[in-house]
Each structure stands twice: as structure tokens, then as C-alpha cells.
Homo-oligomer: A and B are copies of this chain.
Amino acid sequence: MKVIVYGADGYIGWPMALHLASLGHEVLAVDNLARRSWDLEGGTEPLNEIASFDERVSVWNSLGQGKPITHRIYDICDYEAVASDIASFSPEAVVHFGEQRSAPFSMISREHAVRTQVNNIVGNLNILFAIHDINPEIHLVKLGSMGEYGTPNIDIEEGYLTITHNGRTDTLPYPKLPHSFYHLSKVADSYNIHFTSRVWGLRATDLNQGVVYGVSTPQTDIDPRLATRFDYDSVWGTALNRFTIQGSLGYPITVYGKGGQTRGYLDIRDTMACITLALENPPQAGEFRVFNQFTEQFSLNDLADTVAAVATKRGLDPRILHLENPRVEKEEHYYNAKHSALIDLGLAPHYLAETLIDSLFDFVTRYRDRIDSELLETPTVTWRDGANDVWRKHADLAIARENFQREGKGVIDRSL
């Protein structure tokens, strides 16, 4: 199959391109290197060293482990570039990761909120129009987010909800309560894609993905230069990554708020499998299909406890601290999200176990010298402020931390 992967230099996009190439698919890997430029802009960097886009592609192509990958560098907000490649490469499917994907980044300032929404919405519209204008048979596989749903007090279904109201029934898009300006951009994308399926007959799969963990796939493990990034700072990293580093260093594990915040999670290897299943089982023309792409639900406290258990076994003495939550979100809530569609297609999940956390401890320990402990301690982007410009300069993190402490936003111990 010929597949274009947008955002193919990113945390998931890169292993995805490798995975598809290893299966013998012909992959055109597209990225504008925005994720790397945002690191430069904010003074962040991944824990591990990663090869440049050019280098990782040429390493893959030199190894002979699957089909060679073609790569191109451009911004999908440039319609001519998108349309030109869709016309000349003539893919059967496109996998679209090419968006700004950090909720905290979108909450830094007005400029970041606007940049996130314009970038994501325009890039996605360009792909939709290119498919419509050039070949409406192309299957769009789009990465959405479980964070689009928020935390409603009813079960979360997969994209749609059948509603009976005043004696009449319809199946309508599931109502959304998105968590951030980033998640709002994904909601806008979903509505735009759904519209083009109704009006133009496009076929699309929206994968409302949970939080992805892990850094290892069979392909990234072949050579260190094929590694994907591991982020742990407060803008790009996940809570589990932060916990892992804190646990492995013997630092307090910092939970923001009460820790009852529950979300769906999945192993990066299952992301590979889910997207492959979606590609191998395309929807009908005119069908906008939505899958909830995660395998297990955890609260922050569940994750902190698991990390602490691993640390204890490794002879460390972990402590869990609850910091004031920089986000505005429910900290104790009902959460039951359905995720059977991908299982029905054949997904065999990897579950989060202490062995996986243990391997992450090994990974983190390998890069111990590169850890910047300032990035771990203080949540630097708050949902309330709307102008977290202090984030802009890495050097200002110390000031942010000081202000945070001076304002009496203390820490509370929680017994293990």
C-alpha cells in the first residue's frame, strides 16, 4: 500500500513510518520539523539523543529491513505542497499526525492558542481539500484525542451517541468537553472531517487516542539512530514520563491535584497496531468512523503508585507529593470510555505492567546525565493565566518556581 505519513518526524509519526515500511508498505514521510523548532523556542529537549530527520531516514534505508522510506520537508499549511504530493505519489491512504499536539503549549499564551488552532485546522483542511480535489477514494486516518471528550458523567462512546429525546431517536456526534485549546483544535478537525464525509463522500477514520507511553518498538530498537524521542518537561512530556524520571532519581513523584484524573492509556506498540488495523480495514466512501484508541484507564494516582512500587523494588525510597494543579479539570470524576472497535478488528493489547515501567527506569538511567531537574519540579504552564510568557525562556523556569512557592502554593505529602 502507498501511504503518506504527515508528522513523520514526531514521537509517534517516526516509529509509524518505520512500522509501515517494515510491513512492506511504500511510505512517503512528510514533516516540517516544527516539533524540533518548538524545542529550540522553549529551551526544551528530549531525554535521549535523536538523529536528524535526514539521518534517521538514511539509516533506515541503509539497513534493508523493509521498504525504503522517501521523506520530504514542508508545512502542510502550504496547500500546493500537499496537493502536489498527493497527485504525484498517489497514495491509497494518508496518516495525519502533523499537528501541534501539546495541551500545555496551547495554553501558554494567546499567541500559542491561536497558532495551535490555525496550524491544526488549516493543515487538516488542506489535506481534506487535496483528497477531494485529486482522489476522493483516499482513506484519511486522522489522529484525534480522547481529551476531546473531557470527563462527562456518562459513558463515553466511540464518536457517536444514539440519543432518544422526546420520543424520537437519532445517532449524533458524541458531545465534547475538550480540555484545552489544543483539544479544541481536534474537535474542530473532527467536525470538518465529518462534514466532508457527508458532503463530499470522503472516507475517514478519526482515532481518538489516549495517552501514549513507551519509547520502544521493534524498529526503533534496531539502531540507536532510529530511536524516537522521550519528552519529560511540563510542556511536551506526559505525567508518566515525569514520574518515571522522578522515581528513578529518588525525587518526589509530583502529582498535580488530587490525582483522581483518569484517562485512557496505550503502549506505543499498540498505536502502531491500531493504525495498521485502521489502514487494513478502510471505511466505506462517505463513512466517518471514530475509534477510541487506548487499552486501559488509569488515574494519576494509579500511575504514581505503580512507579513508586517499581522504585521501591529497585531499593529507592519514593515519596508522592501532590502539588497544586495548574490545569482546570475535575480531579475526582466518573470515567468509563468504550474502546471495543479496535479490539473487534483484532488488536491484542500490551498492558502497562511493572516490567514496562522497569524498562523505562533502565532507559532513563542510561540518559541520567542529560536530565535537567528544573524541568521536573514545577508546573510552568497554568490553565488560568492565559499568558504564561515566563515559559518562553528556559532560564526563567527558576523564577516561575520561586513565584509558585512564594504564592504559598505548597505541597502535600500523600502516604504510600
Q: Give residues in A with beta carbon < 8 Å to B.
A: 79, 110, 113-114, 117-118, 121-122, 125-126, 129, 132-133, 152-155, 157, 161, 163-166, 168-170, 172-178, 180-181, 184, 187-188, 191-192, 195, 198-200, 328, 334, 383-384, 386-387
A200 to B110, CA, bound (A): 13
Contact indicator B172/A384 (Cβ below 8 Å) = no
A176 to B190, CA, bound (A): 11
Of chain B, the residue at the smallest CB distance from A111 is B79
Contact indicator A155/B165 (Cβ below 8 Å) = yes
Contact indicator A168/B153 (Cβ below 8 Å) = yes
Known: A152-B172, A184-B192. 14 other contacts (CB 8 A): A110-B129, A117-B122, A117-B125, A118-B121, A154-B164, A154-B166, A172-B175, A173-B177, A177-B198, A178-B195, A184-B191, A184-B195, A187-B188, A187-B191
Of chain B, the residue at the smallest CB distance from A329 is B199
Of chain B, the residue at the smallest CB distance from A130 is B110
List chain B residues, Cβ under 8 A from A173.
175-177
Q: Known contacts A155-B168, A161-B163, A168-B334: does B386 contact A133 (CB below 8 Å)?
A: yes
Contact indicator A178/B191 (Cβ below 8 Å) = yes
Q: Known contacts A117-B121, A161-B163, A188-B184: does B199 contact A383 (CB below 8 Å)?
A: yes
Contact indicator B110/A114 (Cβ below 8 Å) = no
A173 to B161, CA, bound (A): 13
List chain B residues, Cβ under 8 A from A132.
386
List chain B residues, Cβ under 8 A from A180.
195
CB distance from A299 to the nearest CB of B (A): 19
Number of copies of this chain in the oligomer? 2
A374 to B33, CA, bound (A): 49
Contact indicator A122/B118 (Cβ below 8 Å) = yes
CB distance from A253 to the nearest CB of B (A): 26
CB distance from A170 to the nearest CB of B (A): 4
Of chain B, the residue at the smallest CB distance from A148 is B191
CB distance from A79 to the nearest CB of B (A): 6
Of chain B, the residue at the smallest CB distance from A180 is B195
28 CB-based A-B contacts, threshold 8 Å: A110-B125, A110-B126, A113-B125, A114-B125, A117-B121, A117-B188, A121-B121, A121-B188, A129-B386, A132-B386, A152-B172, A153-B168, A153-B169, A154-B163, A154-B165, A154-B166, A154-B169, A154-B170, A157-B165, A161-B175, A163-B175, A178-B191, A178-B195, A187-B188, A188-B188, A198-B328, A199-B328, A199-B383
Of chain B, the residue at the smallest CB distance from A188 is B188
The 10 closest A-B pairs by CB, nearest first: A172-B175, A153-B170, A110-B129, A188-B188, A154-B165, A199-B328, A154-B168, A173-B175, A154-B170, A152-B170
List chain B residues, Cβ under 8 A from A166.
154-155
Of chain B, the residue at the smallest CB distance from A192 is B184
List chain B residues, Cβ under 8 A from A176.
173, 191
List chain B residues, Cβ under 8 A from A200.
384, 386
A39 to B308, CA, bound (A): 65
Contact indicator A110/B79 (Cβ below 8 Å) = yes
Interface centre among A114, A132, A155 (most CB of B within 10 A): A114
List chain B residues, Cβ under 8 A from A121.
117-118, 121, 188
Contact indicator A387/B334 (Cβ below 8 Å) = no
A180 to B178, CA, bound (A): 22
Of chain B, the residue at the smallest CB distance from A109 is B129
Interface centre among A133, A191, A198 (most CB of B within 10 A): A191
List chain B residues, Cβ under 8 A from A334.
168
List chain B residues, Cβ under 8 A from A118.
118, 121-122
List chain B residues, Cβ under 8 A from A114.
122, 125-126
List chain B residues, Cβ under 8 A from A383.
199
List chain B residues, Cβ under 8 A from A184.
188, 191-192, 195
Interface centre among A110, A117, A157, A328 (most CB of B within 10 A): A110
List chain B residues, Cβ under 8 A from A188.
117, 121, 184, 187-188, 191
